[in-house]
Chain A
Amino acid sequence: MSVVRGYLVPHRPQPLLAPHLNPGYTDLRRAMEQVAAEIAALDVDLLLLYSTRWVSILGHQVQADPNPVWTHVDEEFHELGTIPYSFRMDPEFAEAYAQAARARGLHCRTVATHGFPIDTGTIMALSLLNPGNRLPASVVSCNMYADRAETLVLGKAAGDALKATGKRAVAVSITALSNRMFTEIIDPAQDRISSAKDDEWNRKLLEFLGEGRLEDVSQLARSFTSQANADSKCKAIWWLASLMGQHNRYEGEVLSYQPLYGTGAAVVRLVPSLKAAKDQEFDEDDTEFFHGDRGVLQSATPSAGAYASAPAEAAPVTPVAPVASRSPVAPVTPVAPAAPAAAPPASSVKVNTAQAPKPVGAYPHARREGEWLFLSGVGPRQPGTDAIPGGPVWDADGKPLPYDVEAQTRAVIKNVQVILEASGATLKDIVDCQVYLIDMRRDFPTFNKVYAELLGPSGATRTTVEVRALPTPIAVELKVVARLKA
C-alpha cells in the first residue's frame, strides 16, 4: 500500500495564526500538532496534498517549485497576521503526477514559478503538519469545473505516480466540511457552526468517517453538498477516497471537530485496516479514464478540447496533394502551392508517410475529407523492414506459428498513431475503430487490455470481429476514423 494513511484538515488560518481567540481554534491546533507527531513517526517519503483553496481552471496544476518561498497574507483574514513560508516540494514526483494524470485523460501541468501564490490551506497544512520540512510535499489544485468522475480519476493518477516512483506517502485533504461562513464580523469567542442543520450534517459525515467508511462518504458527498453547502462539492474527499482505494476498510478517528467562522472544521485520521469489507454500493461515477464531462452543449464544433490537437511538430508527411500548412510559430508569407489540374479540392487530401508500413495495395495511408480523416486498415508491420513484432502467424508454407498478440497490438496502435500524426491528428481524435482479429478466443482478452491502455482514453466507438485471414501474416488489424480539430 503506497498510501499508508490519510488525513482531513481544515484550511482557514485561525488555528495557525490565532489559536488563542477561541478554545475551538486551540483544539484544532492541538489536533493538527498531534497529526504532525504521528506523521513524524511513520516511515514515508512524501506528503501528498489536495487543497480546495487552490482553484484552477485549465485542468489541474501540480506544484513543482522545489523550494517555494514567500510572505503570505490571507485575503479574508489579513488582520490575523502574515505567514512567511519556505517549503520543500518534490519536483520529480510532481512531473510523475502530471504525467500520470495526462495518461488518464486529464489536462494537467506543473507550475514552478517563483512567487506563485500558494493558497492558505496548503500553507497552513504544511506549516502545522510538517515542521522543518521533514518530508517533501506535493500539492495538486482543485479544478473549478471538475465533477466527481474527474476528481476520482485525479486520485487514481496520484496513486499511479506513487507506484511509478515507488514512494510511500501520507495523503492529506485540506477542506472544510459545511462551508457557510458568517458574512458579518463576529467576536471569535462566539464562533459556532452557522446553522444547526449544517452541524447535524457535519456530525453525520464524521460518524461515517469515524467508522472508517470513506467510500460511503465519497458517495454521499452530493447530498451533503446540497444540504450543508459543502466546501467545493467535497472534491477533497473524492480525491482522498479514490487515492486510498475506494473502500470502507479503514480505522477512522475524528481528532477534532470545531466551528471556524461558521464553517465546519475537522481533523480526521484514516488508516487502512484488514477489517472485513462492509457493504459497499456500486459506484456509477467510477471510471478509469477521464473522457471529458464538459461541452455537452456542443455538437458540431469542438471547443473545450479544441486546443489539444494543435501539433507543435507533425511527423514528416509526404502529401500526395497539398496539405494545409499547420501552425507555424514564426510569421510566414503564405504561398499557395500550384495545384495540379484535376487535383482534389483542398479539403480532400491523401496522406502517406514513410514512418508507417508501406500499403500492400493501391491505397493511401489516410484520406482527409474536410474535417474527417479515414485511415486504411493498419497492421503491425514495421516501416522499412516489414518485420512483424511478436512474430508472423504463419510461415511461408502456411504452417501456424506461435505469436505474441500483445506485441502485435502495440505495434498496430503505434502505426495508427504515426499516420494520425502525419495527418495532424492524435490518438485522442479517433471517433470510431473497427478491429479485425484472426483468433477471437485466443487473442481478444490480451488485445482488449492493450486497447484499454492505449486507446481507452479516446472514447471512440469500437466494433471487433473475427476474420479468417488478413493479407499479411498478422493477427490484428485496425480501421479507424478520426476527426480533425478546427
Chain B
Amino acid sequence: MSNQPGEIVAGVLAPHPPHLIYAENPPQNEPRSEGGWEELRWGYERLRERLDKLDYDVILVHTPHWKTVVGTHLLGLPHFASKSVDPIFPNLFRYTYDLQVDVPLSEAIAAEGEREGLVMKMMRNPNFRVDYGTITACHLVNPRWDKPIVVLSSNRAYFYYSNEVGDATMLALGRATARAIAQSGKRALLVATNSLSHRHFTVEPDPPEDMSHEHIYNMNQHLWDMRMLKLMREGKTRQLVAELPDFNEHAVSECSDGSLTWLLGALDLPSYPARVHAYGTVIGTGNAIVEWPHAEANAKAAKRADAEVAP
C-alpha cells in the first residue's frame, strides 16, 4: 500500500439470486442444473471482463440478507468458512465457501460510521455463517475469491420508521465508507447486492430452470425498473434517490434494504452515466447488473478540467 489516498475504483449493483449460481453449476454448489437465466449470467460475464482490467485490493459488500436492527454490523474476523444454504431456495443453493475479511478496513468503517452518529457493531463470533446474499454476490463478481472482503449488514431499524429515514441513513453510511477507504490507501470495489422490483412468484416451476415460466411479476414492476435504469444510465442519481421511497413501496423493491443507497452515498451521488450490463427477471423479480466506472469517470473529469485550464 502506498501513501496515496485510497480510492473507489468502481461500484456495482450486483443482484444475488441463487438461481444464477445454480444455473452455472460451479464446483462449490451442490445442486446441478441444465442452465437458465442466461441474459443475467452473460451480463455478469461482461461485468467480470471489465473488473478484470481494474486493479483493486478489496471488495466491499452491503447485503440485504444479513438483517440487523441494532445498528449496522460488520464481519470482524479475518477468516470464515462454512456451507451457505439458502433458506428460501435450499433446492438451488448449498455452497461451500472459504473467504478472507479485511478487518482493519471494516473497523475503520465502523469508526467512521460512529462519527456520522450511526450505531455500528463488529461481528466477532467465529462460528457465524455468512449470509447467502453475500456469498452469491461475491461468487458472481469474483468467482476466484482472491480478494479480501468487507461485509456490512442491512440495518432494518431506520427503514422501519420510513424509507426516507432509511435512505438518509444509508447515504451517511456510504459517506463514512468512502472516508474509511480514502484513509486506508486501498483501492476498493463496492458491491450493492440487491434486486430492483422484488415481488416473487410464490410457486416454483419444475425444474426451476424452466425458462418458459420466467417473466416479470407484473407490468408495474417492469415500468418501475425501467424508470430506475433510465435514471442510472443518464447519471441522475440524485433524482433516483429522491424517487427511491416510492419505488420501494410501489415495486416492493429490495432497494429498501439500503444496499443501493449506501453505494450511491459512497460514490457521492455520481452524475456520470452508469453502464447497464444486463437486466433480467428471476422468479418474477427484476434484476439489473449495473456498473459505475468511478475511477474512469473521475480520471476523465480531471482530464477535462486540465484541458480547460490549458492555454
Contacts and interface: CB of A to CB of B under 8 A. Distances in A.
Interface string A298-310: 1000011111101
A185 B206 CA distance: 45
B145 interface: no
Interface in B156-186: 157-158, 160
B217 A303 contact: yes
A97 interface: no
A75 B67 contact: yes
A349 to B, nearest CB: 19
A312 interface: yes
Contact of A185 (B70, B85, B90, B284): B70
Contacts of A113: 85, 90-91, 94
Contact residues of A: prevailing secondary structure: loop
A272 interface: no
Contact of B200 (A58, A75, A182, A298): A58
6 contacts: A54-B87, A57-B88, A59-B202, A78-B73, A116-B90, A306-B201
B208 to A, nearest CB: 10
Contacts, number: 108
Given A57-B202, A75-B66, A303-B201, 4 more contacts: A58-B203, A76-B69, A310-B213, A329-B34
A117 B85 contact: yes
Given A107-B202, A310-B213, A184 B71 contact: yes
B68 interface: yes
A192 B278 CA distance: 49
A78 B128 contact: yes
A227 B266 CA distance: 37
Interface stretch (B18-26, B52-60, B118-126): B118-126
Interface residues of B, number: 44
Interface of B: 34, 66-71, 73, 83, 85, 87-91, 94, 119, 121, 123-125, 127-129, 131, 153, 157-158, 160, 200-207, 210, 212-213, 217-218, 220, 284
A18 interface: no
Interface in A306-335: 306-308, 310, 312, 327, 329
Contact of A327 (B66, B158, B210, B217): B210
Nearest to B200: A57
Given A59-B202, A71-B127, A73-B127, A182 B90 contact: no
B87 A116 contact: yes
Contacts of B129: 73, 117
Nearest to A113: B90
Interface of A: 54-59, 71-73, 75-76, 78-79, 81-82, 107, 111, 113, 115-117, 145, 181-185, 261, 294, 297-298, 303-308, 310, 312, 327, 329
A81 B123 CA distance: 11
Given A183-B71, A184-B70, A184-B71, A307 B121 contact: no
A303 B66 CA distance: 29
Nearest to B122: A79
Contacts of B207: 329
Contacts of A261: 70
Nearest to A184: B119
Contacts of B212: 310, 327
7 cross-chain pairs, A with B, having the tightest CB-CB distances, nearest first: A183-B157, A78-B125, A113-B90, A307-B203, A82-B127, A73-B128, A115-B85
